[in-house]
A and B are shown apart, each in its own frame.
Chain A
Amino acid sequence: MPDGASQLTTPADFAFAGYLARLADSHLVLGHRLSEWCGHGPVLEEDLALTNLALDCLGHATVLLRLLGQADGTGRDEDQLAYFREAVEFRNVLLVEQPNGDFARTIARVFLFAAYALPLYEQLQRSTDAALAAAATKFHPELRYHLRHAARWMLILGDGTDESHRRLQEAIDAWWPYTGELFALWPDDPALIERGLIPHPDRVRAAWEATITEVLGQARLARPVAGMHMLLGGPIGRHTETLGYLLAEMQIVARSFPGASW
């Protein structure tokens, strides 16, 4: 039994823990991908902007992983959860683990994710879990900025040069098959919705659709065809190959020097 487990006062809630893992791991992995831009941004200002977004994502993941360690009954802290789980134990959506690609792909992914996360956390502020509701209230203004920043770049690139427009359209087309997973209803979810812990994904999707339609229109970008086959698997631990490489880099220091501090 891990240290601290005896201090738990609430029994494990595996369905809720699974949902928290989906949120926490998605923020953690997206934050790591964004941190890969550190020192490589197209201009100094955007280098800072992307790493600020990355730090926000890591902050969200830290809070959510702490909640996860309580909900799953193990008492693990955020470092144990981030650095000492294997790829199959991660529950992030597939969208966030894919390599960054060029700047257009990076921005398009932040846009698609923030347009989903903003209404999600708006509704999670009314969760019957007080700790998750408080976390959502803290995240919400930061996510509003993520969407504002990414949406502005969508306009600049989409309505910019022929090349910037082409690259951004390719980015949207490439990410589109990963967007269905954001709104998937998994077997444990109806009970969580019934308990008032999480919103129904259809309610988040409606807000996401409105944002996507507005910004794609303003940026003169075509919306990918409806009915495209959507990729599913991240929230049940079926990841793409790339997550293993990402985790190897993210976890190597903590695993080489367990308990180190600096």
Chain B
Amino acid sequence: MSGAAASGEGPVWEVFVQEKAGDPHKHAGSVHAHDAEMALQHARDVYARRGQVASMWVVPHAAISASMPADNASFFDPADDKIYRLPAHYLSPASDRRR
């Protein structure tokens, strides 16, 4: 990020767009900008000119902590081979299937 800032384009900001009130903000892409206000303006020009937008967030890319792809096997170990971890494995007392 410091390299991008030194290049004159400014650091990278991630852009999140909400299409209508109550919806989640979804990641739309990223822009370069020198500050948050200019990041919002660029995000508006790049991601909001077409289509409906209710709200927009910009977040400094450096503020995001991301998982490492190399860790995926252990970090995202799916639990589907341990069926006792899944709520559907357990039958409630009222369940017809038990009888």
Contact = CB atoms under 8 A, between A and B. Distances in A.
Interface of A: 42-46, 48-49, 52, 148-149, 152-153, 156, 160
B32 A156 contact: no
Contacts of A42: 8
A148 B8 contact: no
Interface string B16-58: 0000000000000001111101100110011001000000000
Contact of B9 (A43, A148, A153, A160): A43
B32 to A, nearest CB: 6
B41 A149 contact: yes
Contact of B35 (A43, A45, A148, A156): A156
Given A52-B45, A52-B49, A45 B37 contact: no
Task: List 6 A-B pairs, minimum CB-CB distance, nearest first.
Answer: A45-B42, A43-B9, A49-B45, A48-B45, A45-B31, A156-B34
Chain B: number of interface residues, binned into ranges = 10 to 19
Contacts of B45: 45, 48-49, 52
B15 to A, nearest CB: 11
Contact of B42 (A49, A148, A156, A160): A49
Given A43-B10, A52-B45, A153-B38, 13 more contacts: A43-B8, A43-B9, A44-B32, A45-B32, A45-B42, A46-B42, A48-B45, A49-B42, A149-B41, A152-B37, A152-B38, A156-B35, A156-B38
A43 B41 contact: no
Nearest to A51: B45
B41 A148 contact: yes
Contacts of A46: 42
A39 to B, nearest CB: 15
A160 B32 CA distance: 17
Nearest to A160: B34
A46 B41 CA distance: 10
A44 B47 CA distance: 13
A149 B10 CA distance: 16
A153 B33 CA distance: 11
Contacts of A149: 41
Q: Which of A45, A48, A49 has the most CB of B within 10 A?
A: A45
Nearest to A48: B45
A88 to B, nearest CB: 36
A43 to B, nearest CB: 5
Contacts of A44: 32
Interface string B55-94: 0000000000000000000000000000000000000000
Nearest to B9: A43
Given A148-B41, A149-B41, A45 B34 contact: no
A43 B46 contact: no
Given A42-B8, A43-B9, A49 B41 contact: yes
Given A156-B34, A156-B38, A45 B8 contact: no
Nearest to A148: B41
